[in-house]
Amino acid sequence: MKLTLSAVFISTALSASVFTPSTSADEAILAGGCFWCMESDFEKLDGVTDVVSGFTGGSAPNPTYNGNHKGHFEAVKITYDGDMLSYNDILDHFWVNIDPFDDRGQFCDKGPSYLSAIFVANDKERAIAEKTKADVVAQFPNKKVVTPILDASTFYPIKGDEIGHQDFYKKSPVRYKFYRWNCGRDQRLEEIWGEKALGKNKS
């Protein structure tokens, strides 16, 4: 009798595993100027499960917003469901949410930390990133696309007393919308990308 119950238990467990949908969590690290805006734009994308603001790309250890972050980019780490989105999908969304021609920063924010960039973790990601960049170059033959594709390095999430920067657009929606409008981000995105920039991700 015990053998029979064990067999039933094992069979049930195996059946359950067969019918459980497979899921996978993947990550992408991208810089597109103000990380408040990048959080907002990506968290509205179906299939994205988390977006964390931070710094990456520089050599200074433990960079902070109000302290030393020289050499680092304001960036976001995006976690997404690999069964719903591909890395290519993430980058397609990235391009239409940045100004790829600005070599001084993004929108009203100027300076090295506000430059756009794609940080790739391996050769596969680099190949996809290069392809999407080539598509943008082909779309704008008379402009110079300056967004670089860089090797991923340590990502430092905003933490401690500066944790208010995480999900700022949710915590302070009025201040965020006022900043975004006055920065001219959406106006410039529409100028560059037209209808592609007018998706449901805008706030």
In angstroms, the CA 127 to CA 51 distance is: 23
Catalytic residue among 34, 37, 108, 183: 34
| H-helix segments, the chain | 2-19, 35-43, 87-95, 123-139, 168-171, 173-183, 185-193
What does each C-alpha distance from 161 to 53, 68, 166, 184 come to in angstroms?
14, 15, 11, 28
Residue 151 structure tokens:
């090797």
Catalytic site includes residue 37: no
Three-class secondary structure assignment of 62-120? CCCCCCCCCCCEEEEEEEEECCCCCHHHHHHHHHCCCCCCCCCEECCEECHHHCEEEEE
Write out the catalytic residue numbers: 34
